[in-house]
């Protein structure tokens, strides 16, 4: 690759028109050409960029990343250019909350938040496009994205998907136009992600045709509820539905929380209690609070009864007879929360890396071979190690998110809406959300550190985004709980595949599996690899570079882990207590298998995207980025591959050395790869991403160059001492 690069100056200095100060209303420039020198910062030694003709197609790549709803995504992204929608760092909590509420009204006025609702009510019946737009609201303010998600993605969506036509006509208009700000009251302080065990009750009173909603214990208080502290006038409340002495499990009711006080301000209704959660670690534009109920009466007509109805006399019926399946079907209709959080996390990761790479292409630190010129940060191998694998993970997550969004749209638009489709969507969302939200925290933290002290300054956004994104890993399902759900699905599918094998087939499978384990747990396979690779690192690297090899390594790890866990859990004679203990003993392994499965899904999505790239050079660079993603996954889990005989020690060494080679190949394209995200300095609103650092560096280099040219630069003491020693003028004592 060295033949296709040459030295040049800072790659990333934005044109002067792009350096609009945060909060101004100047028009957004086009995506910056980050790999070409700018007029503001002339070329100088210290960095590399592609030769002419070696550039990737940034425009086409950006379109590929933005996916099917690219126009809606960019329209929503550009809403962030409106100063009235932008987060003001350091704003007091009370002011931030009121500002975000006003911002929601702006979104309503612009028609940006209703795409998922029925056309008959003023929506677009476009669930996929709706979420694509919501993901980009993170660019403006994560509090805006989440508060909008609470109002329309949770509160409104619950009425839409759990209610009937009468509920839609009566309740949705006020939700859609924000006349009725609302809450999604599911989580309880005592149960968290264990929704099936919530303790709030809704007991039917046939005499009045009302449900009596009650919080019997402190652990049943609804907690962390958006809009609960101040703004919420109604809520969809989840409770155990009890009628005629039978608990029919968790159902949802529409409950009015607040009415108008004497001054028109909302006041809590009798029996409804609320407290403010106060200052949080982030997302302080949302008025989170706790709710509880003291025998509040709710009309029977407010039971959202798509999956469970109670007649006037208290008779219960449901189209889904099995209570467990009914529960998961109800919750499955609300999967869009996880889908949108996953997409928002990808957006935050893109922003973090865009800021850090822009800065890393301009900031210089320490002299290298050239004693008069400092080295660009991104030319250091460790800096590449810090940022480029995260860039590869972000691309993989973006392509996987696009596939998830397509599946979500197919289910919720009715194009492919079977029970199997919904189960697959739930599993895919449960696999995606942990990886993308953890990625966002990793990317934001590493980007912050990679930008040094500048990254810690509020105006550069990384610290604030990190605070706001922190809670994404635990709401809408704690990440480890979600991965356990994925792991259970993997075990279920494994069990079904084994159940289809007859006795003879099962015997063959067991024998084959035993032979496989014997092969991998002995030196035979490793020895074969070593012989194949002897004397040639290129041969070993070529093997690892092959897509089929990467797929085999990633797939084999998932399959082997699931099979091993299934074998440990297959004790037919264990009591329930023993079975629970065995499962708990393998919980960590199950979650790791689920994580490996989710990573495989991302690798496959990245690989599938390569086929849609027309420009050969762009496809070549993206393939290199895919290889970096795949091989860093292998590198991260080298201990497993070595202990389980999947890879030889020699080939294991090649993994790390080849990853380092991939970093060198990708370094010239780093600017273009983040430019494809489509964010301009006006979107990022980080001073260090405006080209200001490049201008400072250029000014400094020019200053010292002029000093040297004029002979005015002071003599360096170390150089003077060395010169005296060479000329014999210095004494030993000196």
226, two tokens: 């958006």
- The answer to whether residue 539 scores a pLDDT higher than 80 is no
Q: Give the position of tokens 């350091």.
A: 90
In the predicted model, what is the mean pLDDT of residues 336-357? 96
pLDDT of residue 714: 87
- The answer to whether residue 528 scores a pLDDT higher than 60 is no
394, two tokens: 């972000």
Q: Interhelix angle for 649-666 vs 616-636, to 10°?
A: 140
CB 689 within 8 A of CB 10: no
Q: Which residue, among 169, 146, 45, has the nearest Cα to 97 in the 3D structure?
A: 146
pLDDT band per the 50, 70, 90 thresholds, residue 41: very low
Q: Give the position of tokens 């690297």.
A: 541
Average pLDDT score over the chain? 86
- Per-residue pLDDT tens for 220-236? 999 999 999 999 999 99
Q: Which residue, among 286, 288, 360, 289, has the nearest Cα to 137 in the 3D structure?
A: 286
The 3 state secondary structure assigned to 635-660 is HHCHHHHHHCCCCCHHHHHHHHHHHH
- The answer to whether residue 532 scores a pLDDT higher than 60 is no
Q: What is the percent of the chain where pLDDT is above 90?
A: 68
Q: Residue 67: which residues within 8 A CB-CB, separation 6 or more?
A: 73, 132, 402, 405, 406
The 3 state secondary structure assigned to 223-266 is EEECCCCCCCCEEEEEEEEEECCEEEEEEEEEEECEEECCCCCE
- The answer to whether residue 569 scores a pLDDT higher than 70 is yes
Q: Which tops the pLDDT comparison, 403 or 567?
A: 403
- Per-residue pLDDT tens for 409-464? 999 988 888 888 999 999 999 999 999 999 999 999 999 999 999 999 999 999 99
H helix intervals, 503-546: 503-521, 523-533, 537-545
- The answer to whether residue 720 scores a pLDDT higher than 90 is no
- The answer to whether residue 312 scores a pLDDT higher than 50 is yes
pLDDT of residue 48: 54
In the predicted model, what is the mean pLDDT of residues 310-331? 94
pLDDT of residue 321: 93
- The answer to whether residue 384 scores a pLDDT higher than 80 is yes
pLDDT of residue 535: 44
Q: Residue 42: which residues within 8 A CB-CB, separation 6 or more?
A: 9, 698
Domain with CATH 2.40.110.10 in the chain: 93-332
CB 400 within 8 A of CB 432: yes
Q: Which tops the pLDDT comparison, 580 or 572?
A: 580
pLDDT of residue 352: 98
CB 127 within 8 A of CB 343: no
- The answer to whether residue 502 scores a pLDDT higher than 60 is no
Q: Interhelix angle for 462-469 vs 419-450, to 10°?
A: 150
Q: What share of the chain is helix, strand, coil (3-state, %, to 5)?
A: 60, 10, 30
- The answer to whether residue 505 scores a pLDDT higher than 90 is no
Question: Does the active-site annotation cover 476?
Answer: yes
- Per-residue pLDDT tens for 242-294? 999 999 999 999 999 999 988 888 999 999 999 999 999 999 999 999 999 99
| 168 to 179, 254, 308: CA distances (angstroms) | 15, 12, 17
In the predicted model, what is the mean pLDDT of residues 303-331? 94
- The answer to whether residue 5 scores a pLDDT higher than 80 is no
Q: Interhelix angle for 127-135 vs 381-412, to 10°?
A: 150
pLDDT band per the 50, 70, 90 thresholds, residue 152: very high
pLDDT of residue 112: 82
Topology, domain 480-675: Butyryl-CoA Dehydrogenase, subunit A; domain 3 (1.20.140)
Topology, domain 93-332: Butyryl-CoA Dehydrogenase, subunit A; domain 2 (2.40.110)
Task: Compute the distance between CA of residue 548 and CA of residue 109 in angstroms, rounded to an integer.
Answer: 51
Task: Tell me the three state secondary structure of residue 433.
Answer: helix
- Per-residue pLDDT tens for 578-619? 888 888 999 999 999 999 999 999 999 999 999 999 999 999
- Number of helices followed by number of strands (H, E) in the chain: 26, 17
Sign of CA dihedral 715, 721, 725, 730: positive
In the predicted model, what is the mean pLDDT of residues 377-386? 94
pLDDT of residue 583: 86
The 3 state secondary structure assigned to 110-143 is CCCCCCCCCHHHCCCCCHHHHHHHHHHHHHCCHH
- Per-residue pLDDT tens for 623-642? 999 999 999 999 999 999 99
pLDDT band per the 50, 70, 90 thresholds, residue 519: very low
pLDDT band per the 50, 70, 90 thresholds, residue 723: confident
| Given 476, 592, 599, 693, the catalytic residue | 476
φ/ψ of residue 441, rounded to 5: -65, -40
In the predicted model, what is the mean pLDDT of residues 380-390? 96
List the Cα angle 84/87/93 in 5-degree steps.
110
Q: What is the percent of the chain where pLDDT is above 70?
A: 85
Domain with CATH 1.20.140.10 in the chain: 480-675
Task: Compute the distance between CA of residue 194 and CA of residue 184 in angstroms, rounded to an integer.
Answer: 16
- The answer to whether residue 526 scores a pLDDT higher than 60 is no
Cβ count within 10 A of residue 633: 22
pLDDT of residue 331: 86
In the predicted model, what is the mean pLDDT of residues 20-39? 37
219, two tokens: 């652990």
List the Cα angle 318/321/323 in 5-degree steps.
95
DSSP state of 31: P
φ/ψ of residue 273, rounded to 5: -125, 145
pLDDT of residue 29: 36
369, two tokens: 């071979």
pLDDT of residue 712: 84
Question: What is the helix (H) or strand (E) element at residue 47, kind and residue range?
Answer: strand 47-50
Task: Compute the distance between CA of residue 143 and CA of residue 344 in angstroms, rounded to an integer.
Answer: 12
Cβ count within 10 A of residue 124: 15
In the predicted model, what is the mean pLDDT of residues 651-664? 92
DSSP state of 188: B
- The answer to whether residue 52 scores a pLDDT higher than 70 is no
Task: Tell me the three state secondary structure of residue 5.
Answer: strand
């Amino acid at each position: 690759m060295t033949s296709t690069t040459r030295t040049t100056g800072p790659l990333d200095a934005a044109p002067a028109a792009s350096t609009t100060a945060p909060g101004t209303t100047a028009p957004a420039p086009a995506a910056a050409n980050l790999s070409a020198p700018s007029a503001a910062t002339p070329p100088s030694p210290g960095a590399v960029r592609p030769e002419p003709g070696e550039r990737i197609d940034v425009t086409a790549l950006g379109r590929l990343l933005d996916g099917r709803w690219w126009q809606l995504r960019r329209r929503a992204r550009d809403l962030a250019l409106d100063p009235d929608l932008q987060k003001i760092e350091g704003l007091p909590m009370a002011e931030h909350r009121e500002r975000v509420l006003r911002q929601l009204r702006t979104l309503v006025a612009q028609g940006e938040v209703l795409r998922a609702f029925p056309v008959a009510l003023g929506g677009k019946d476009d669930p996929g496009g709706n979420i694509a737009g919501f993901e980009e609201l993170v660019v403006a303010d994560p509090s805006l994205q989440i508060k909008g998600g609470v109002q329309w993605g949770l509160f409104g969506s619950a009425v839409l998907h759990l209610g009937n036509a009468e509920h839609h006509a009566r309740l949705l208009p006020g939700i859609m136009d924000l006349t009725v700000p609302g809450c999604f009251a599911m989580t309880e302080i005592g149960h968290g992600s264990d929704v099936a065990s919530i303790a709030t009750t809704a007991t039917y009173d046939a005499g009045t045709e009302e449900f009596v909603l009650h919080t019997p214990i402190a652990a049943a208080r609804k907690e962390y509820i958006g809009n609960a502290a101040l703004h919420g006038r109604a809520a969809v409340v989840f409770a155990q539905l009890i009628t005629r002495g039978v608990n029919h499990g968790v159902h949802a009711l529409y409950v009015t929380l607040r009415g108008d006080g004497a001054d028109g301000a909302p006041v809590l209704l009798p029996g409804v209690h609320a407290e403010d959660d106060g200052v949080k670690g982030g997302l302080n534009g949302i008025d989170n609070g706790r709710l509880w109920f003291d025998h509040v009466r709710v009309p029977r007509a407010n039971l959202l009864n798509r999956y469970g109805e109670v007649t006037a006399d208290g008779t219960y019926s449901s189209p889904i007879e099995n209570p467990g399946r009914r529960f998961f079907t109800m919750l499955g209709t609300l999967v869009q929360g996880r889908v949108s959080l996953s997409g928002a996390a990808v957006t935050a990761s893109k922003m973090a890396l865009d800021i850090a790479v822009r800065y890393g292409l301009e900031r210089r630190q320490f002299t290298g071979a050239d004693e008069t010129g400092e080295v660009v940060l991104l030319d250091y191998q460790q800096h590449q190690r810090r940022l480029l694998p995260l860039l590869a993970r972000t691309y993989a997550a973006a392509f996987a998110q696009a596939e998830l969004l397509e599946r979500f749209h197919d289910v919720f638009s009715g194009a492919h809406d079977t029970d199997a489709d919904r189960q697959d969507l739930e599993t895919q969302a449960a696999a995606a959300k942990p990886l993308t939200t953890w990625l966002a925290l990793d990317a934001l933290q590493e980007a912050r550190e990679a930008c040094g002290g500048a990254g810690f300054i509020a105006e550069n956004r990384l610290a604030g985004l990190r605070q706001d994104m922190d809670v994404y890993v635990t709401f809408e399902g704690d990440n480890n709980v979600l991965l356990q759900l994925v792991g259970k699905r993997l075990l279920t599918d494994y069990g079904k595949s084994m159940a289809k094998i007859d006795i003879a087939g099962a015997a063959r499978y067991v024998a084959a599996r035993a032979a496989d384990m014997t092969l991998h747990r002995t030196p035979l396979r490793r020895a074969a690899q070593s012989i194949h690779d002897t004397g040639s690192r290129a041969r070993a690297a070529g093997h690892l570079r092959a897509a089929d090899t990467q797929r085999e390594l990633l797939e084999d790890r998932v399959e082997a882990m699931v099979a091993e866990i299934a074998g440990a859990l297959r004790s037919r004679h264990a009591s329930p207590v023993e079975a629970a203990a065995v499962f708990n003993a393998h919980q960590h392994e199950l979650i790791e298998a689920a994580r490996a499965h989710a990573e495989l899904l991302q690798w496959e999505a990245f690989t599938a995207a390569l086929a849609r790239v027309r420009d050969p050079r762009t496809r070549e660079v993206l393939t290199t980025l895919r290889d970096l993603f795949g091989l860093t996954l292998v590198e991260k889990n080298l201990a497993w591959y070595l202990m389980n005989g999947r890879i030889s020690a020699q080939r294991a060494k090649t993994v790390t050395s080849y990853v380092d080679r991939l970093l060198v190949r990708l370094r010239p394209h780093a600017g273009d790869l983040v430019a494809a995200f489509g964010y301009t300095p006006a979107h990022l609103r980080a001073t260090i991403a405006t080209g200001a650092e490049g201008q400072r560096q250029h000014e400094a280099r020019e200053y010292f160059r002029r000093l040297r040219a004029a002979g005015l630069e002071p003599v360096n003491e170390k150089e003077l001492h060395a010169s005296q020693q060479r000329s014999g003028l210095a004494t030993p004592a000196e």
